[in-house]
Amino acid sequence: MRRSVLVATLSLFLVATLTAGQETPPAEKPSPFGLQMGMTADQLGKIDREISPYKFQLSSVSKPHSDLEIYVVSAPPKAGLCFIRAVSPDWKTTSDGSLLKSRFESMKSQVEGIYGKPYLVDAVQSDSKLDKPKDWMAALLANERTLMARWSAADDDLPMKPTIAKIYVAAYALSPDTGYLAVEYYFTNYVQCEEEIKSQQSRAADSLQ
């Protein structure tokens, strides 16, 4: 089930080093889906469940997107909110992925209107046998095709807003005729956030020895 993808990120495309920016006044911070960098768990609103340490699925957000329905965030106590993953409903499409591609293009265009043209990956692996138009969804399902857009100041020299390090929009397949989109925001405190989570996990493991 796609619920298992909620913990996953686009780490294949994420450069490990994210440069921390200067402190930005709260009023000037971007608030995708009504969420701002540094928010504590208590400030996130109603939490549906904790998927893994400090990774929470929210019951709702104050600024929902009409094409997205599940919102997952990382927010350890010190760093606060550093990551958002928003997931669309499951959409039925044809084997050529026409509807999913159309949904992707719409989402990409909306982000593009704010941050400019992204780095785009829209390709099938060179050794894939699923390279025909009718095989588009099958190739996506087999992880032999990628449809992904990335916005990043560090990687793509794009004018990102304060506190936003990277944004991804990507398409995924659940079956040859069903897919969904995921939108991810990485804030400039993401590395600090990950280090805090790893440190907490390490301390927890040490207590078992």
Q: What are the tens digits of pLDDT across the range 54-78?
A: 999 999 999 999 999 999 999 999 9
Whether residue 13 is predicted with pLDDT greater than 80 in this model: the reply is no
Give the pLDDT of residue 167. 98
- If we measure between CA atoms, which residue out of 79, 123, 111, 100 comes closest to residue 185? 111
Residue 66, number of CB atoms within 10 A of its CB: 6
Give the pLDDT of residue 203. 65
Burial 120-131 (b: 16+ CB within 10 A, else e): eeeebeeeeebe
Rounded to the nearest integer, the mean pLDDT of the chain is 88
Residues in a beta bridge with 86: 71, 183
Whether residue 187 is predicted with pLDDT greater than 60 in this model: the reply is yes
Give the pLDDT of residue 28. 76
- If we measure between CA atoms, which residue out of 69, 73, 86 comes closest to residue 43? 73
Three-state DSSP state, 54: coil
User: pTM score, two decimals?
Assistant: 0.86
Q: What are the tens digits of pLDDT across the range 32-55?
A: 999 999 999 999 989 999 999 999
Give the pLDDT of residue 22. 46
Residues in a beta bridge with 47: 58
* Contact (Cβ atoms closer than 8 angstroms) between residue 90 and residue 133: no
